[in-house]
Amino acid sequence: MDFSGKHIVVTGGTGALGSAVVSGLLAAGATCTLPFRHKPEAQRFVHRDNPKVKLVATSDLADDAAVAKVYAGLDLWASIHIAGGFAPGTVADTDKAALMAQLDSNLVSCFLCCRAAVGAMKGGGRIVNVASRQALEPRAGAGMTAYTIAKSGVATLTAALAEEVAKDGILVNAVAPSIMDTAANRKAMPKADFDAWPKVEEVAATIMFLASSDNRVTRGAVVQVYGKS
């Protein structure tokens, strides 16, 4: 896949999956803009000194003004939306504030970045969102209901937006990962079968294809990236 001359926004680009995506994009010739909320994220990011990487401090991707700052002046080919947050909790234990936090970090941020990306694309492009396995299998979301609702919204947004903008040459898709093999997940679940989890590089490869010009026909898909799990 060749991304030479293409500008791409990657939200959540300093995280485990985001770093794998950005590494692949840079190797393929892309220029990347990465919003971040916390300064230590930028300071430890492996590609922080790469001239093809622009790190943009932002307060909150669920805020219109903050998102507008990220996308201002860009002639954009693709926008990849990995940023989000996870919090477990039954319905009985989840108050309105906790529900809204999950909706803002996962769904509202994705919606606003999709909106800004469409406005920044001249003559076509690609949008890739990140849903979750629970979005496609809601019963698996028991005990994390607010998160499941938010990620289900991301899946629905993907399908609806794909229909809206197909005529403009913009293909919108999503991936739905299961638990990925990251250091944080291994620490949280030390007895799990790590070999069954999809590797971040494998999920990144799927995202890159969906974001590439090699993807000429796929739109509205929520691609399962479960590995062996």
97-136 pLDDT tens trace: 999 999 999 999 999 999 999 999 999 999 999 999 999 9
pTM: 0.96
Share of the chain above pLDDT 90, in %: 97
| Residue 229 banded pLDDT, cuts 50, 70, 90 | confident
Q: What is the pLDDT of residue 213?
A: 97
Q: What is the pLDDT of residue 161?
A: 98
Whether residue 41 has pLDDT greater than 90 = no
Q: What is the pLDDT of residue 26?
A: 98
Q: How far apart are CA 197 and CA 185, in angstroms?
A: 10
Question: What does the pLDDT average to over 168-189?
Answer: 95
For residue 171, how many other CB atoms are within 10 A of its CB?
24
What is 172-225 written as a DSSP string? EEEEEE-S-B-HHHHHH-TTS-GGGSPBHHHHHHHHHHHHSTT--S--S-EEEE
Whether residue 167 has pLDDT greater than 90 = yes
Q: What is the pLDDT of residue 209?
A: 98
Whether residue 89 has pLDDT greater than 90 = yes
Q: DSSP state, 38?
A: S
| pLDDT one-digit tens code per residue, 43-88 | 999 999 999 999 999 989 999 999 999 999 999 999 999 999 999 9
The two three-digit tokens of residue 167, written as one number:
């005529």
| pLDDT one-digit tens code per residue, 187-225 | 999 999 999 999 999 999 999 999 999 999 999 999 999
Options 3.90.700.10, 3.30.1330.50, 3.40.50.720, 3.40.50.300; which CATH number does 7-223 get? 3.40.50.720
